[in-house]
Structures are given as C-alpha cells and as structure tokens.
Amino acid sequence: MKTTIFLVRHCEAEGNWRRLFQGHYDGAVSELGRRQLDRLALRFQGIHLDAVYSSPLSRAYETAKAINRSHHLPIQLEEGLMEINGGRFEGQYFDQLSTLFPAEYEMWEHDPAHFQAPGGESMVQVYERMKNTLDRIARENAGGVVAVASHGCAIRNYQCYIRGLPLSRVNSVTWCDNTAVNRVEYDEEFVPHVVYLNDTSHLPIELSTLAKQDWWKT
C-alpha cells in the first residue's frame, strides 16, 4: 500500500517577479501566476485526489484552489507548510539584502543550512517542520493520493530530506519553478521515495517564472 503526495510550489506572486524576500509576506498572485494556475488546474483535472492541503499564505492557497477545481475537496490549511519566516528580511528586495544584512545574506547565499534572519526562523526549523508535516500528512492519508501546496525554500528543505541528503547539502538542491510538481510515494512503512521532482511539463516556456530569471543558476 503506497501513499502518494503531489507537492506543488505556489504560482508566481508579487515577490517572485519583484524579487522580494517573500517568506510570510503575503503578496498578491501575479497575472502570469493566474495563467500558471489555469495550466496547473488542467494537469490535475484527470488525477484522482483524496485530500488537498495548503499553506495558509494566499499564493499557496490560490494554488491549492486551482489543483482542486475539478475535485471540490475541502482544502485543509497547515501552518507547517508555510514558507520560512524571514524576520527582518521580509518584504526586502534581494539586491538590497547584502547591504542591509551582510553577514546573514552571505549565509543565505553560501551556507543556507545555518541561515537565520534577524527575528526569523532558522533553516533547521524549516527542515524539521516540513519533514514532520509531510510525514504526518502521509500517515493521516495512508493509501491515498494527496495534493499539497507549499513554497520554494520549504520544498527545497523537504527535497533534501526525501533525497537522503544532510541539510548541509541544501545548496545542491535546485530551486523549483512556480507551480512545479513533485511526486513522492510513501511505502507501507512510511518511508518516502522520489518519483519525480520539479516537473513543469504543464507550463509552456513563456509561462515559466525561472526562464525569465537567472539568480537561481548561481
């Protein structure tokens, strides 16, 4: 008996196109993001789902609603699926962070496993809560198929876990695009196994956020 998790990154929102540190900053979904959601809804139209979960932040919740368009399931909000709390990084432009918080930004870029913004959440905390939340969701839906809407940094941490990598290797985990889909299957002992990661086959290139940016390549 396997339990399937479709873990989806939220659609493009204000922070993605303006290059702000979003974290818990609850910016609006962009026009491109709306178009991404239409494609995502079509992708999930023919996939059986037993449950839908979402981070309570609006960009994730709107993504969960798109996944759920053809299913009409209750969307269960989970704070454990939220993006990293960026503290004083929240809402700041990325190109200003190195000036405002040089030491912390250096860690974000080159040693993210030890990152913690002033007044924010540590990367270790994000890793542990994503691991614990997704493992619990799998157990609560044993044998079922579940869609989960979450966030880029949070998903990166969870990918570290399911790939068997230590958190110190988080920088080797590629950022996923907006509305990218990850499929994970938990076995009978609730050990997660990767089926695929960062799949954007539902998006034409003109609807990709990362195709228009290069920060993630460095």
Give yes or no for residue 113 having a pLDDT over 60.
Answer: yes
pLDDT bin (cut points 50, 70, 90) of residue 17 is: confident
The Cα-based distances of 84 to 36, 80, 89, 154, 185 in angstroms read: 23, 10, 11, 6, 25
pLDDT bin (cut points 50, 70, 90) of residue 218 is: low
With respect to CATH, is domain 3-210 assigned 3.40.50.1240?
yes
For 181, the enclosing helix (H) or strand (E) is strand 181-186
**What residue segments make up the domains of the chain, in order of their start?**
3-210
> What pLDDT does residue 15 have?
83
> What pLDDT does residue 212 have?
85
Give yes or no for residue 217 having a pLDDT over 80.
Answer: no
pTM: predicted TM-score of the whole model, two decimal places: 0.96
Query: 75-92 pLDDT, tens per residue?
Result: 999 999 999 999 999 999
What are 150's two structure tokens?
């979450």
